[in-house]
Amino acid sequence: MQLKDFKFLILFFIAISGYAQQTVSGTVVFRETNKPISGVKVYDKSSGVLAETNTDGFYQFETTKELITLVFFSFEYQVEEISINTKNTSIVNVTLLDLSETLSEVEITARKEKVFELKRLRDVEGTSIFAGKKTEVVLVEQSMANLASNNARQIYAQVAGLNIYQNDDAGLQLNIGGRGLDPNRTANFNTRQNGYDISADVLGYPESYYATAAEGLEEIQVIRGAASLQYGTQFGGLINFKTKTPNQDKALDITLRNTLGSFGLYTNFTSLSGTKGKLSYYTFFNYKKGDGFRPNSEFESKNVFTHLGYQISDQTKIEGEVTYLRYLAQQAGGLTDRQFNNNPLQSNRARNWFQVDWLLYNLKLAHQFSENTNFTFNFFGLNASRYALGYRVNRVDQEDPGNERDLIKGDYNNFGFESRLLSKYQLFNKDATFLIGTKFYKANNKEQQGPGSASFQPDFDFATETFPNYPNQSQFDLPNLNVSVFGENILYLSDKFSVTPGFRFEYIKTESEGAFQNINTDNAGNVIFQETVENNKTFDRSFVLLGLGLSYKPSSNFETYANISQNYRSVTFSDINITNPSFQIDPNITDERGFTADVGLRGNLKNYVSYDANIFGLFYNDRIGFTQQVNSFGRIVSERGNVGDAVIYGLESLVDFNLKKIIGLGNNFRFNYFANTSVIQSEYTASEQNGIEGNRVEFVPELNLKTGLRFGYKNVLFNIQYSYLSQQFTDATNSKEADLSGVVGEIPEYDILDLSLSYSYKHFKLETGINNVLDNSYFTRRATGYPGPGIIPSAPRNYYVTLQIKI
């Protein structure tokens, strides 16, 4: 596709006509002191947030509606609801009352959920459009998950259809996929923190070695493949980690959390937050260490995050953020099926290490030109490295001989900026919202592979002089340039029905400049052939992605939605430049293309039940995966390349029953039951390779079920969660029997039961739980490289205890 073919679409987006609107303003004060209250959200009961009071208690918004019901909400005060006629009333001053009694934690949680259910994103949030898209919001502060270890199985329990690698007992990395997408380091999602990119290289190496500490999160926003137009081309969509915000009512707010757990786990989370005048801040330090649940699995992690905000005026705010993560982890290595069946907790790798340094920074300017037009500008960057060191022969049951190790060093330096302009306007006397944005991204990455030392220590210096004939040697500079322009427009054809067309234009220039050593030796280790092979490539491409969303809302408690959006995923440089003894790369490997579609319904039935059910289709062309091939030596090897075209389709549903209201329990209780079910089918519809067409697609369990019960009385909360995933394949050949490396083969069905309990008293909160209560032996991953290769076992039964103090 060429951009010129869609000029009419872009011209349509920018043909915006403005019409006069009614301005409503006022102040909000506390009745007992008559002092202004800041941070009060002013909602239109039918459409969402309209404004928020400033430090003087003042708010203002514009609306085209004549009759509206305003809701004034602040967490510490009673809710006030007022209906007005905007043609007769332009000033609405409000007095809020204090809560009549101190609420228990259960009552506070219930109050927040009863008044405003924020589990799905509204049509417009800030300078983003979500109308007609499948969106899910994880309310982390209300979660009873093991936050200290970032337990993704619990945190994402109500996000339908996610497939999660569960091999990291400390949550140092996040590995989630879904709908047939490889969970490895969440590489098939665009991962962001507070709206800016956090992965190594968005297109060239979209793997996330950093995951925001769950204890510092307020929400996790998940937007499926339709996010490709606004946030990036990935098939998975967007995952945005939204950190907690500064406390607006105190100059200093302190939270201390200390956790002890199985296998020597200790974590500390300390956060400071506050607002003084126009300056606000939120910062945390997160420390983790442990021995791991297998031998040779010790780790230590340090993570610092700082947010500073300055309110220049009522219309303009500037924010800056810096994140630093450093961790060192020993890797126990992978297992063959025979080893796993004999003892899933064994390890025969004592010299494998992994180190990550991750420095992120972001500067954001937000300006409100008017009540209807908002602008944001983000300048972001990354300076990071990840070093992998170890003995990783494809015969994973082979004992480590203690010779030189394989060392891969990746250094990532990138920066970019993203600008967004969102404007609400009138078109033919109907509401409309227009978004236009642009993104510039430049990366300069380096990858080097060669011999590491023969010691046991985490020595990340190359030992080329000591081992000059090491066969796996390469060095590449990998610059990337990406420029994109995107736009979406919500057209409200009626008060109930909206259409949202969108586009994204992408220009990508990927370069590879470097060489690798081709070294052959005889059985005695003598070099019989050696050459340096230059491998310089430049790959330019530009294309347009299109999408369309539909939404029908007959009431504020029910919506049907549909969306179709094109997707694209470029070949990463790790696909083509790293030598791996466990598999080979097809030299003709190319980018992936396709599209995703969702049709669903969601809503809330009189607060008795909340639901979201949808059918989806993911259509993949030139899908990259693993097949079994015969190499030039007559051996069967795993090969990574374009397997063929595939279709993945299914039903996803989440139903959450408010048993408290159904049964009729009092305010001191909380009682909920949820069922999160995903039923998926998949098939390779075309392939040039033998034995692939008609096979199931990898990483697709046909049944993915998570269900749980939460019960609370006053300040005590109890949660039980059960998870089940059916059998899945790891390669397109649908191999059931594993090879000697353990890289390919099926992942058998597994189930896990988790329990958690919490108790709050004044400034203290005690949390405890048991994960994998039934002590099942299972695995969710067959790694092709680090931390394997081979089967990576999941954690056995383990416990944790957390003490939180808020000052």
| Distance separating alpha carbons of residues 242 and 198, to the nearest angstrom | 12
Residues pairing with 372 in the sheet? none
| Distance separating alpha carbons of residues 737 and 743, to the nearest angstrom | 11
| Distance separating alpha carbons of residues 514 and 532, to the nearest angstrom | 10
Look at residues 184, 178, 267, 174 and name the one whose alpha carbon lies nearest to residue 212.
Answer: 174
| Distance separating alpha carbons of residues 791 and 80, to the nearest angstrom | 57
Q: How many CA atoms lie within 13 Å of 763's alpha carbon, on the beta-carbon side? A: 7
Residues pairing with 226 in the sheet? none
Per-residue pLDDT, 560: 97
On whether the CB atoms of residues 585 and 576 are closer than 8 A, the answer is yes
Q: Which amino acid is at 375?
A: F
Look at residues 110, 134, 109, 227 and name the one whose alpha carbon lies nearest to residue 654.
Answer: 134
- Map residue 186 onto helix, strand or coil: helix
Please give the sequence-ordered ranges of beta strands (E in DSSP) within 158-252, or none if there are none: 162-164, 176-178, 190-193, 196-197, 217-223, 238-243
- Map residue 54 onto helix, strand or coil: coil
Look at residues 40, 42, 72, 70 and name the one whose alpha carbon lies nearest to residue 57.
Answer: 40
Q: Which amino acid is at 17?
A: S
Per-residue pLDDT, 283: 98
On whether the CB atoms of residues 800 and 259 are closer than 8 A, the answer is yes
DSSP string, 496-507: SEEEEEEEEEEE
Provide the H-helix boundaries in 59-124: 105-115
- Map residue 115 onto helix, strand or coil: helix
Give the Å distances, CA to CA, from 800 to 297, 758, 793: 18, 12, 20
SS percent in the chain: helix, strand, coil, step 5? 5, 55, 35
Per-residue pLDDT, 559: 96
DSSP strand pairing (22-30 vs 94-96): parallel
Per-residue pLDDT, 582: 56
Going along the chain from its start, the domains and CATH numbers come out as 22-100 (2.60.40.1120), 124-241 (2.170.130.10), 242-806 (2.40.170.20)
On whether the CB atoms of residues 381 and 397 are closer than 8 A, the answer is no
Per-residue pLDDT, 581: 59
> In whole angstroms, what separates CA 425 from the centre of its chain?
32
What angle is formed at CA 594 by the lines to CA 591 and CA 595, rounded to 5 degrees? 145
Look at residues 678, 520, 519 and name the one whose alpha carbon lies nearest to residue 134.
Answer: 678
Which residues 6+ apart lie within 8 Å of 101 measured at CB?
A: none
Mean pLDDT by 10 residues, the chain (807 residues): 46 42 89 86 76 88 83 82 86 84 52 50 93 94 92 94 90 92 93 96 91 95 95 95 92 97 98 96 98 97 98 96 98 94 96 97 96 96 97 89 95 97 93 97 95 96 93 91 97 94 96 85 76 85 96 92 95 67 74 96 89 96 81 67 94 93 87 95 93 94 96 94 97 84 92 97 96 97 89 97 96
On whether the CB atoms of residues 198 and 382 are closer than 8 A, the answer is yes
| Distance separating alpha carbons of residues 491 and 493, to the nearest angstrom | 6
| Distance separating alpha carbons of residues 743 and 167, to the nearest angstrom | 15
Q: Locate tokens 């009189």: which residue?
A: 606
Query: Does an H or E element contain 7, and which?
Result: helix 7-14
Per-residue pLDDT, 324: 98
DSSP string, 682-705: EEEEE-SSTTTTTPPPTT--SEEE
What per-residue string of b and e applies to 426-458 under the rule 16 or more CB within 10 Å gives b? Answer: bbeeebbbbbbbebebbbbbbbbbbbbbbeeeb
Q: Which amino acid is at 699?
A: F
| Distance separating alpha carbons of residues 554 and 732, to the nearest angstrom | 44
294, two tokens: 């297998």
Query: Does an H or E element contain 142, and which?
Result: none
Give the Å distances, CA to CA, from 296 to 170, 186, 330, 576, 789: 15, 25, 6, 30, 15
606, two tokens: 């009189």
Per-residue pLDDT, 9: 43
On whether the CB atoms of residues 253 and 275 are closer than 8 A, the answer is no
Please give the sequence-ordered ranges of beta strands (E in DSSP) within 86-202, or none if there are none: 94-96, 124-125, 128-129, 135-139, 162-164, 176-178, 190-193, 196-197
φ, ψ of residue 156 in degrees (nearest 5) = -100, 25
| Distance separating alpha carbons of residues 222 and 159, to the nearest angstrom | 8
Q: What is the largest CA-CA distance in the chain?
A: 95
Look at residues 24, 742, 734, 764 and name the one whose alpha carbon lies nearest to residue 371.
Answer: 24
206, two tokens: 């979209």
Provide the H-helix boundaries in 72-215: 105-115, 152-155
On whether the CB atoms of residues 500 and 598 are closer than 8 A, the answer is no
Per-residue pLDDT, 131: 95
| Radius of gyration for the chain, computed over Cα atoms and rounded to the nearest angstrom | 27
Query: Does an H or E element contain 716, and which?
Result: strand 716-725
Q: Locate tokens 């079994």: which residue?
A: 628
Q: Which amino acid is at 499?
A: V
- Map residue 469 onto helix, strand or coil: coil
DSSP string, 500-536: EEEEEEEEEEEEEEEEEEEEEE-TTS-EEEEEEEE--
> In whole angstroms, what separates CA 514 from the centre of its chain?
33
Per-residue pLDDT, 397: 92
Q: Any idea what DSSP says for residue 243?
A: E
> In whole angstroms, what separates CA 106 from the centre of its chain?
28
608, two tokens: 């008795």
Number of C-beta neighbours around residue 739 at 10 A = 20
Per-residue pLDDT, 222: 95
DSSP strand pairing (609-630 vs 592-605): antiparallel
On whether the CB atoms of residues 353 and 169 are closer than 8 A, the answer is no
Residues pairing with 381 in the sheet? 361, 415
